[in-house]
């Protein structure tokens, strides 16, 4: 798959993230009926705990980047690994 398509897919997902963020920023969830949420599917992966030793400066940088994205650094590591695995499999 081309790099252009991969970038476009990421841009689309970023647009979706922004759309969802806007929805949750501007919606009182106490007012949302449960009927509105019936078409929502939540995918939960089976996670396995692993231990990694990383250079301290890399962990510090990961924490900074994660904070800018509004997520935890371990979530960011998981996102990076999954993205790398998906792109590696397409080669």
Kindly report the pTM of this predicted structure. Answer: 0.50
pLDDT in tens, 18-49: 777 777 777 776 666 666 556 667 677 788 89
Among 47, 44, 42, 54, CA closest to 78: 47
pLDDT in tens, 64-86: 999 999 999 999 999 999 888 88
d(CA 20, CA 23): 5
Given the structure tokens 């990694």, which residue do they identify?
52
Structure token pair of residue 43: 């995918």
């Amino acid at each position: 798959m081309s790099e252009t398509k991969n970038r476009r897919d990421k841009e689309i997902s970023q647009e979706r993230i922004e759309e969802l963020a806007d929805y949750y920023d501007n919606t009182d969830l106490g007012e949302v009926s449960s009927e509105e949420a019936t078409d929502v599917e939540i995918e939960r992966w089976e996670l396995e705990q692993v231990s990694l030793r990383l250079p301290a400066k890399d962990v510090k940088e990961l924490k900074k980047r994660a904070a800018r994205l509004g997520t935890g650094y371990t979530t960011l590591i998981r996102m990076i690994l999954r993205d790398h695995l998906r792109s590696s499999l397409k080669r």
